[in-house]
Structures are given as C-alpha cells and as structure tokens.
Amino acid sequence: MSDLNTQRRQFLKTSLGAAAVAIAPGMLLFDTAHGKAEAGSSKVRWGMLIDTAQCQDGCNDCVTACNKENGLSGGTSATDSQWIRKIDLKDIRSGRALSLPMMCQHCEEPPCVDVCPTAASFKRADGIVLVDRHRCIGCRYCMMACPYKARSFVHEPLQDQKPDVPRGKGTVESCTLCVHRLDKGQQTTACAEACKNKAILFGNLNDENSEIAQKIRSVASVQVRADLQLNPGIRYQGL
C-alpha cells in the first residue's frame, strides 16, 4: 500500500514538473508578444511643474502648440474646445501680476471620473485622466464637476481630425498630456516642447531621479485648489 502511495506521489510530482516546464515559456512568450506596456504602467505618474516666474505675460506658444498637435481650431468662444488656456492673475492689494497656463490637472482623485455615469471618464494606470469617447454620451456632468474648468464639449461636426487624436461631435474632451506621444515612448508634451522659457517641466513624478521629481523636492510648489485634496499631477511654482 505504502509503495503504491509513493509511486502515486512520484507520478504527481513528475507531472506537475512537466506541466510547469511546458507552460512557463508560453507565459513568458505571451507577456513578450502582448508587450506588457510601459505606457500604461502604474510605476509611472506623469506630471508637470509650471514655473510662473518664467511664464511670460502675453506669450501664447503653449496654447498654439497644443492646438496644432491635437488639431483644435484655436478659437476661444464658449463653444470652442480649449485644452490649455493662458490665465492672467493680479493681486489687487500688492499689484503683483502673474500669467500661467491652465489645463486638466490630472488629479489622483478626479471628480470628473466620480460623476461620470457611463465610466467614460477614467484615469489610466500612469495617472493620465482621459475621456473614452466610445462611451461618452455627452452629458457634461464631468465639466460641471471639474474645479479647474478644464474640459470642453464638441458642439459641431468635425472634419480632418489628426490620425493620432480622434475627436468628434457630442463628446467631452480635455488635455491628454499628449498621451499619443507618451505611448510611442516620447518623454515630452507639445506645450512643454514649445515653451521658449522652459516654464513647463514635464516628467515622471514617481521616478526619484527624474528632473521634475528632483525639482519638486528642492523648490516650493503648490497644487491649485489643494484644499480639495484631489492631488493633481500639475504643480505650480511661485503662485
């Protein structure tokens, strides 16, 4: 009887081993073939540090670059899409004036995602907040929920969209942090690239050695409406 048991045990062990040997390379190949993308990895958190001291009053280069990259019309009326806008601030008492770009702040706890009834608004693993236009029904709850007024609604039919940036009537859209560039392995956005004064620093907040993480450690920066505790990925220096 005990001999039978030993044999049985031996058989089970051998077959388990054989199964492991047979399956393991397949699993490895599966991972390789399906390219466990660096793109959507939660090891990365994309963010920006905007130095308001370097941002020039009257300069619109980041906005123009964004419009060109994403095929936006460039209009500024209430029904035009604006993914990034320039804002001028002035403290009435001291007279200190500031100019800064404002766009989707890519919150860690995005209110737009909370309110979306169809789960079209979502946050990618790497912290980018996007609209899945295939699911968006155009209800615009997210636009109401966003404390930064960062989102736009497409009111008119569009033609000649960029192949990398599909956009269409009846859906909400906002800054994508140039996600089509990042997925291709590029490390910069159109606005950061276009800024002459290097006021926009783009990078991976989770990587200790990245330029942006080092700078955030060394200089004082704030998040807009930090009191809401949304932990935006965009930070402002000198605000």
Partner 1 sequence: MKLLASLLLCLFVSVAWAAEGDTPKLDIGKGGQCVRDPQWMRKNHMHLLVHQRDETVRKGNRIEQDGLKNCVECHASLSDNSVIARDDSFCVGCHRYAAVKIDCFECHASKRRTALVMKDGK
Nearest residue to 82 via CA among 146, 171, 18, 151: 151
Q: Can you tell me which of 166, 181, 206, 231 binds partner 1, judged by CB under 8 A?
A: 166
Query: Quick check: 43 binds partner 1 (CB under 8 A)?
Result: no
Query: Quick check: 39 binds partner 1 (CB under 8 A)?
Result: yes
Query: Quick check: 168 binds partner 1 (CB under 8 A)?
Result: yes
Distances (CA, A) of 238 to 98, 194, 208: 9, 21, 22
Distances (CA, A) of 195 to 69, 106, 145, 199: 14, 20, 30, 6
Distances (CA, A) of 122 to 41, 109, 180: 15, 10, 16
Biggest CA–CA distance in the chain, Å, is: 95
Give the shortest CB-171-to-partner 1 separation in angstroms. 8
Q: Are 212 and 203 in contact (CB under 8 A)?
A: yes
Q: What whole-number distance in Å separates Cα of residue 170 and Cα of residue 139?
A: 9
Secondary structure of residue 144 in the 3-state scheme: helix
Give the shortest CB-127-to-partner 1 separation in angstroms. 11
Pick the closer one to partner 1 by CB: 51 or 126: 126
Give the shortest CB-232-to-partner 1 separation in angstroms. 20
User: With contacts defined by CB under 8 A, how many residues of the chain interact with partner 1?
Assistant: 29
DSSP letters spanning 97-125: EEEEEEE---BSS-HHHHH-TTS-EEE-T
Query: Quick check: 187 binds partner 1 (CB under 8 A)?
Result: no
Stretch near partner 1 under the rule CB under 8 A, chosen from 55-63, 81-89, 162-170, 204-212: 162-170
* R_g of the chain, CA atoms, integer Å: 24
x/- site string to partner 1, residues 62 to 101, per CB under 8 A? ----------------------------------------
Q: Are 112 and 121 in contact (CB under 8 A)?
A: yes
Query: Quick check: 24 binds partner 1 (CB under 8 A)?
Result: no
Query: Quick check: 29 binds partner 1 (CB under 8 A)?
Result: no
Secondary structure of residue 11 in the 3-state scheme: helix
Query: Quick check: 134 binds partner 1 (CB under 8 A)?
Result: yes
Give the shortest CB-178-to-partner 1 separation in angstroms. 12
Q: Can you tell me which of 26, 58, 95, 157 binds partner 1, judged by CB under 8 A?
A: 157
Residue 16: phi and psi, rounded to 5, are -60, -45
Give the shortest CB-219-to-partner 1 separation in angstroms. 30
Query: Quick check: 155 binds partner 1 (CB under 8 A)?
Result: no
The residues that touch partner 1, with contacts defined as CB under 8 A, are: 34-35, 37, 39-40, 122, 124-126, 130, 132-134, 157-158, 160-164, 166-169, 171, 179, 182-184
